[in-house]
Structure 1
Amino acid sequence: MDSHALLLLLSLIIHFSSSVSDSSLKEGSYLSVKDVLESPTGVFSAGFCPVGDNAYCFAIWFTEPSCSRDDCTIVWMANRDFPVNGIRSKLWLQKTGNLVLTDAGKYIAWSTDTVSPSSTDLILYDTGNLALQNVEGVILWQSFDSPTNTLLPSQRFTKDMQLVSSRSRTNFSSGFYKLFFNNDNLLCLLYDDSKVTSIYWPTPWLVSWATGRFPYNSSRLAFLDTLGKFTSSDNFSFVSADYGVRLQRRLTIDFDGNLRLYSRKKGNNATWVVSWQALSQPCEIHGACGPYSKCSHSPISGRRCSCLPGYRVKNANDWSSGCESKFYISCDNDTDQFRFIRLPHVEFYGHDYGVYPGYTLEMCRKLCLSLCGCKGFQHRYIGDGMWPLVALTNNIRQNVIPSLCYPKILLLNGQRSPSFDGQFYLKVPKTRLFSDKENFSGLGLNCSTELHRPLNRVYQKSSQNEKLRLTLWFAYALGAVEIIGILLVWCFLFSSEKDLNEASQGYHHPAITGFKRFTYSELKKATGNFSVEIGRGAGGTVYKGTLPDNRIAAIKRLNIANQGQAEFLTEVSTIGKLNHMNLIEMWGYCAEREHRLLVYEYMEHGSLAEKISSRALDWRKRFQIALGTARGLAYLHEECLEWVLHCDVKPQNVLLDSSYQPKVSDFGLSKLLKRSGDLSCSIFSRIRGTRGYMAPEWVFNLPITSKADVYSFGIVVLEMVTGKSPAIGGTSTNGEGEELQRGLVTWVRQNKKNGGESWIEEIVDPILEGDYDKGEMEMLVMLALQCVEEDKDARPTMSKAVEILLHRKQYL
């Protein structure tokens, strides 16, 4: 065959394999980096957008008015956290009905995981929706169901969705801010980095009715219409400043954390205009300036960040890193070594030791001096007109002095506002000279605008000599034309799907790239062939190991070998995002063939079960363990984005670090063990938990809610206070042969009923030898008894339990 005939054959094959219509992609076809889909009237386009040097993301953007591909307004991205190479990367619509984005033809960066027995098309509509549908018109997947940072008119926003901001103006990877429906069915804005999460809109310290929201709904649905009106099921709504005119519109959570509605007229010179925004004061957005800094705003200079006196900036190019201390504070109880710098009109939201109503300024100062970790305190006198509302909102008696004291364990979300009439007092050492009038004006907010994002993968080059390969290829082509043609067609039709499946085995789920993925051989070596067992339970066996970087780790070998790799990676990504000081920290995982392992930090003092009758646990440590455990469970139930029920709260799953601070472990195993259903009212396929700590609803096959964990927490507290196991008094029966262990609870209640004023002394662990606060002990036992009520509705939430323990003086 001559060269002209060969080129004709190759061009026919290429045309057959990559033909694309203007607004749809046919089954068996693909889009290359240079190809673009356009909606029928050209309002939207879909294709590969450059996000760095030779790095691309598949995206949808506005193309009316016209724009170049690197400066268009992007409304959706498929692989924002996993950009692909500009060479040989393709978006395939396979004959199986699966839409797959390949990275350099070797790795799967993203897919819809859809299957269809009939033929499918990928269609871009004028609404901006990219839909995968079969010949019957059934939508198998659509971009409207998985938004990134933008909501378009006619796009429904539901309880299963969230908008996530970009990292910066030119870095499109996932940022720190999210819009979602919280557990109270309210539409909220959340700041969420690797260490801290906090809701900042609506006003977090107000109850829902004070913000005009309605939590008593189950639909959790929001919608933006084409005229500029937004409505939500929680009674929140707004209209744009240009309501009633049909314009291009988009609701976007920007990289700075503000939610804005943009509108634009059609035309080449039209620009986007902000027609509504959630917060008019940008300093109210949490995380804007990072820890130990304060935010200030003026209409001229905009938002600015500055460090507190005695602190210096960590990274002037990214203020989200905050500031660090120039001094060191020791904990030797010498209160004379400190003084306070008064910062008027400055406040820090959250991270309080507690709320202390009725405290004078001097009382608040002495309180902060007595707390080693106190970084400063907020003090504010409330006017008589506002005090009844503040007292009611914070559950405070109205007959105390109308003032509030907030000692701070961390200084986050700081802002200076002339309208704020409170004062902040910064704790600094007397030995350092920090002027009370020192003005740290700081630098303007400088978010990183670095566009370059090189790919963090290495593509192996062929070891074969290129010239030799071409020579052999032409020799085979000239010598065996028919065979070559058959092989080319066969390779294209049959081998591409095989290559994709093989590449998927090495695919690292983009949501969990923050963890280290260990091989099974690495963990086998780290544990000495799993020789040192330190714990065992229904979920698996825990071994002690030493990682290659010499960190001591606890490595859990899970009993879920039948779970698929993709499902396991998805569940691990959810668990890994949960971050709290009272939850065990996960360092990595292994998902290799049938092996499923999790790698955790190692706790020096083991579990609470090992220490529960030890003299090492004095009264103060036991109280702090109860408080820390309650905090960890409250975070799982109410603060993290995806609710998690523990389902097996017991002393063996409460671990103690070097300072005896508790960390709840195994908090994700109920999810890894294929839990199904809505977490607020799950019906489990089988009983989970440990005998003696299980709530009655497990036995009676009732809906399982977070109150099941509350019951188990109550049993753990009673066991820790008394030093006795849950079954000391035997068992009772439900009438159908099911035994319920109620021994410890019954014994404590009988002592309370018959023991008179000394009943607490009768039940307290003798190893404490009477060295405890009787009032606090009684309050803790009463809380535990309330947690183990038979009726789950009579039990408090874990957040209420935390509130009682933190503000125990009010309950004595």
Structure 2
Amino acid sequence: MQRFRWRDYNGIRPTSPRCNSSIRGEGRESNNRRASKERSTNNVSKQQGESEVSQDELVLVTGVIKNLQPCGIMLNKSHDWKGQFIAKPHDKTIGEHASGGFVHQGVPWQGTLPVVVGSKGSMIYGHIDNHAPPKLGWLLAWDKPDNPNELKRDAVVWCANRDHPIGDNATLHLTSEQGLVLRDVDGNLVWSTKTSNLSVRSIHLQDDGNLVLLDAKGNSIWESFDNPTDTLLDVRHGLPVGHRLTSSKSTSDYSAGMYCVKWESDGLHAYVDLNPPQEYRFLEYSTYHDIVFQSLYYASYDGFNLSYMLLTATGRLKWINWNQSDWNQSAPIIDYFEDVKFGDCAYPRTCGNYGICVNKTECGCPMETDEGGVLYFQPINAFNSSLGCSLVNPLACPDKDLHYFLQLENIDYFDSTPSLTGTDIQSCKSACLQECSCKAVIFHYHNDTSFGNCTLPSEILTLKDTGGRHNVVTLIKMQKKTSSHRILVLSVSAGLIVLVLVTGVFVFVFMKKRNRAKDFDCSNDVFVDTVKRFSFEALKLATQDFQTKLGRGGFGSVFEGTLDDGTKVAVKRLDSLSQGRKEFLAEVNTFGSVHHFNLVRLLGFCDDGLNRLLVYEYMCNGSLEKWIFNQDVSLALTWSVRQKIINGVAAGLEYLHTHCKQNVIHFDIKPQNILLDKDFNIKISDFGLAKMVDRDQSQVMTMVRGTPGYMAPEMVTGRAISVKVDVYSFGVLVLEIVCGRKNFGSSEGDCLTNLVKVKADEDQLSDLIDEHGEDMQQHKGEAVKMMKIAIWCLQPHFIRPTMSMVVKVLQDLPNMEALSDLSYLTMVQEAAPAETNYEFSVRPTESLLSGPR
């Protein structure tokens, strides 16, 4: 079967009217239709399919059909198109039954109020109700349903007032002076055939589905075929030049959408309705007629006697055949705009603005970064990659001197209509920089970039990966981060800041000298009222001279102890006094007030000369590490316990990130720092690397800190970081909990995150689920969903979720659907270190909340 072919352009792009500028509802003489069209309207007699207009005005009150968005007059599919009015103009019973139903041959119609009924069931229905205003007025649809309220959207083939909804009790008038007129309940004009002074004599619903107004001689005055919506019923002849189909917004909203197909002198053009429109398909007339001929031939051969074309809400032009024996079944739908090579990637909005479409269906954002490693683009919605991407630094027209171009390799655009022809790439770039509305340069060439054609789109929709084509260059217009007026402002600000800093240094030095002698003077204590203060001797006695060592955490060792009242505690003895005493006590005061069920509780402290100790609650089941990496089946955790642990860690991190007076970044989330009580409730511990961040700071600069294998990539690049570094560590932790293995193995090939990426690409994540214990195998579905959440947490900083987002998803894990599509995932990893012990180039100062491990 012959498909469409692309047109070669040799000139400047022609100006194209907007999709919504088509001729609508214009009355005109029948000779405006093509002479070849087989209508024979002149021979139409006043028979069953025709209703005559007499001196009396025919007034029809619309009823309600549910489940469809606003439309006025619609046509519906039927076995036979010959139609008739339910009541003729002289039938005085119309007014008597206007509120309860129309009269059909003297019998009131119950339920939904139809206006026209075909001889074998074809109907024009009253307005549609989608359970809430606004509503549609008059429609024509195939296939009368048993229950008129159940009319389906795909049965609708024509609508009069799709963009002008009506309410209940609107009226449809048919008069000889004005033709068909649709008015709302308040009498305002909604739609009309615009046939004033053309002496309408009758209305006729033809066999081919054309609704026609006729004069006294049987000549056509107005036809629905001349004013289509999204469906072409007259597939043999198409439409006159200048007419078009316009898609609906969606399958549930019949108002005009953003795609249109227009008949022009050279063939069929498909546009996406932008300003100016962008063309995404073209069919020559010869190709169109070949398609129609072959499709009609096969439809007739297979027993399908009714065919039509539909421009869908997604821009597809589909040929649909209906079987006469079963009006609920259609033949396989053929998309004549289908692109065999690029699939869905050839359509304008598959991946949204700036989205790149690969492998026919997959969407993602450009991954190019600036010199600092910061991405140029970020997804609009991390859950739905098809919604597109946005520029991290948006374009600003006043700053066009700061515009430059980002080149995307092997990327093309659906609209190749040239803005400039026979030119070079530098001329195209200059033209785009001079025009504020230009968003990109798409340059097509034969041999090199010194000669070719370029497209300068005013809006960037879906880009497509060519898979290695080298005769196209795509340049996206970008905005530099600074402007001239900003430089002036920053210069003045910098001068003031320097002045303040110099003054501050003098004050600081003076105060430091005055207070240095008092640094260890107990009379100069910072008042701590949030936790208990212990003496060094008391803690030495409680730990039996630090006899039982539980482990070593950040900046100190942890010992088991028992207080005088019998309470078991974990005592951490700090190794360094590099932090000032006042700062230490201030942090004790701050973190002592942090209370959450999933954070290890600080019970007290000791600040006795050179001895600084922290006292924590004791966790009898130790760290998570010994439970998830243990090969003993008897110690294998059940799925419910693992899920409980994951939820607890997430809740604790969310509290630190969002609910403290100052946001707290932990920096060292790993199994060793997750402690378990007797009921396997978790407590996050070891805040030795933690950092408090003011709420008005989204990012901070800090030295490298954390444990290899759990550190977010931005930690080792020297860029500003945020609370999302903990989200990355949480993602690694979740993978370890579900899979029962450490992230770093003996080689880089054994790295768990590498294996997860491979299995995710193969859709075989279940292969990595911990095999110890039958319980995990019985919950593979939920475990895989949990792994997908973990992968979500391993994304680059800009698309990585916050802990608040993660907690919300975890709360509804069994029903979680948003992450079922992994096509947008681009896992980022750090290389495995040569040694497991990490050396800090600068040893960070200990923080007070250096909890036990």
TM bin, normalised by shorter chain, reads 0.3 to 0.5
TM-score with structure 2 length normalisation?
A: 0.36
TM-score with structure 1 length normalisation?
A: 0.38
Q: Highest Rg: 1 or 2?
A: 2
